[in-house]
Chain A
Amino acid sequence: MTILVDHDTKVICQGMTGRAGTHYTSVMLAYGTRVVGGVRPGKGGSFHLNLPVFDSVASSMAETGANASMVFVPPANAAASMIEAIEAGIPLVVALTERVPLRDMIRVRDALRQGSTVLVGPNSQGVLAPGVCKIGVMATGDAQRGHIGILSRSASLTSEATAQLSAVGLGQSTTVGIGGDAIHGLSMRTCFEMFLADPDTHGVIVIGEIGGTDEEELADFIAAAKPKIPVVALVVGRHAPPERRMGHAGAIAGSTDGSAESKIRVLRDAGVIIAESPHLVGQRMREALAVPA
């Protein structure tokens, strides 16, 4: 099995007629993803890549039975597109757009609270269930069908982890880019719960970065849930240059410092295996699976 996507996932692309949307939609079609149409306000009724184009997400869902949307809309309109998809009630939205303004993402998160849509991203490379469904921009050459889940804040390191896993004979059930932006939809913790609920996922790779609180929330959950499958984490940014602070708000609001060290510490304390270096992710999972728990 997989998480988030499966053989029945029917995808529409918001922003399909743009340059990036066109390119990646055709790559996804070639991969076997069931892309059933696109949305581009004003171009409804036309065809692009031999697929029907609709004026709205709601009409595309009614006509095609789409149950997932990929957002490839430039930053200026990305939030409005996500909110449109959420309000149309589509179960899954995968947002690839980079650099969506934070103020817009506050509105998107507000819309998510009103509905039941799962938003992956923005600034995500997408979701890949090897051999089943690809929604996103990731390279698939190194991906293999298998039993390891990857949840990640970094597109480049997901490709890296995928290649390392396949090289040691471990395929992937699903790889999920939760997105590199400060405000995003699906959290590490919720994504991890999805992997735990999937009997076909036998181990999970977590790729974190400095900043935010996703890793800390995940560590709290793992410490309490004590999962039976191995979890290997890589957190990068130990030696990131210190960011110049501005004002006192961050320091007095009680937020965590978000350093790589503190994230690594809480994950290790929760029982997660730490890959000390980015080139050791696949190897650590291989070792963890070789030793019966």
Chain B
Amino acid sequence: MRLHEFQAKALLTGFGIAIPEGRVALTPEDAAAIARHLGGEGFAVKAQIGSGGRGKAGAVRIVRTPEEVSSAARDLLGKTFVTIQTGPAGAEARSILVERAVVAWRSFYLSFFIDVAKAETVLLASSDGNEDIEERVHAGQARLERLPLAAGGSIADEDAAALGARIGIPGGAMPAFVDLLQRLAKAFSALDTTLVEVNPLLLTEEGNFIAADAKIVIDDSALFRHPELAALREELEDSEGDRVAQNRQLNFIQLDGDVGLVANGAGLGLATLDLVRAADGKPANFMDIRTTATSLDVAYGFSLLLNNPAVRSILVNVHGGGMQPCDTIADGLGIAMRRTGRSLPTVVRLAGNNAEYARFRFANFGCRVIDCPDMWSAATRAVAEAKRAGGRP
């Protein structure tokens, strides 16, 4: 779960980490009111798009007056921003964060993340905190310090201070820096995150550290022990596909093609995507039905495809296993067709447990499916069906 900046910052304050004063706004009027309430000489108006690289994409504005905050908000709200981190589709700003500008003396880069290959949490730090950190590191202009954390996730005082010295934290600010790192490390484990990035971390003339920007990614597999974070998901404006996937034991990613895909298993799902592309087709989605999904869960997955007007054909590529035989998938399609009242040319490739029984179930539900013996012939047929259906007036 990738949190918005305002959510990430709110969580960090719970661990005693200072952030700029500010609030989130949904309208230009609210934005101006927040600025008036904050007072001061300058404001940051920041689009909440759940991704970084915003400065260069024009998604962050620094302005002087509440009136300018309002017009900046009008510009940003509802706009889709494409940054180096969003991917080509970009992300829409549904809300903005209005903050009082911070006068900084120095800025630093900090991030905690999980190095999965080594199975350890790593702290990266640099004396060079800003949006250009990537290019500057790759060009050899910014130095990056790396500190692997013990399996328990804590940082010893001396390790924190040694790291601080390497990135040029002034001696007077060192106790505050050590304290900050330990608080961030605590937040990192306590929230079950896979990333906590503070960039820039500002140091004021008075010797205070302020997290001017924050990115947090929560490990989805650990959400079961964080009921308190469920409310944050509501604010993330997930698509219908995301919501169904979350509740129905599916992995689902919407794509922009016309061949709907259904597979059980992430590997088989990825393989099905590759096959459709190799057959010169355009997948409408990625779907992986998890082993624990019931036929009703599967029906919700099929409904996402049946309710999408762009989908012209469906390719079902399943290998029946011990707990999820082929007939579970067949029942899912049957239920979805009855509930939505829609049907589409459906090509199936059935292998493994209960493939024969699944054919019987399809027939029982009145689903006319095109049965292919192997996945390559099924993929080419599904692509051909989509093209034929698309060519109809």
Contacts and interface: CB of A to CB of B under 8 A. Distances in A.
Contact of A239 (B215, B273, B374): B273
Contacts, number: 208
Interface in A100-118: 100-107, 109-110
A207 interface: yes
A132 B292 CA distance: 27
B219 A248 contact: no
Chain B interface mostly helix, strand, loop or mixed? mixed
Interface in A49-78: 75-76
Contacts of A249: 111, 113, 124, 195, 197
Nearest to B150: A110
Interface string B258-292: 00000111111111011111100001001000111
B119 A100 contact: no
Interface in A235-256: 236-253, 255
Contacts of B320: 139
A245 B114 CA distance: 14
Contacts of B120: 106
Contacts of B85: 244-247
Contacts of B292: 98
Nearest to A210: B270
Contact of A183 (B50, B119, B133, B323): B119
Contacts of B117: 212-213, 255
A290 B138 CA distance: 48
A109 B114 CA distance: 13
Interface stretch (B29-37, B220-228, B330-338): B220-228
Nearest to A242: B87
A177 to B, nearest CB: 10
Given A244-B87, A253-B115, A155 B134 contact: no
Nearest to A238: B274
Given A154-B266, A246-B2, A163 B352 contact: yes
A122 B35 CA distance: 50
Contact of A154 (B111, B122, B265, B376): B265
B369 interface: no
Interface string A222-245: 000000000000101111111111
Interface residues of B, number: 78
Contact of B151 (A106, A207, A210, A242): A106
A207 B267 contact: yes
B351 A160 contact: yes
A101 B124 contact: no
B103 interface: no
Interface in B179-210: 189, 192, 194-195, 197, 199
A106 B222 contact: no
A203 B115 CA distance: 32
B119 A247 contact: no
B376 A279 contact: yes
A279 B378 CA distance: 11
A247 B195 contact: yes
Contact of A160 (B122, B134, B319, B376): B319
B165 interface: no
Interface of A: 20, 23-24, 27, 75-76, 98-107, 109-110, 125, 137-139, 141-142, 152-157, 159-160, 163, 180, 182-183, 207, 209-210, 212-213, 234, 236-253, 255, 260, 277-279
Those 3 A-B pairs whose CB atoms lie nearest each other, nearest first: A154-B267, A156-B265, A110-B151
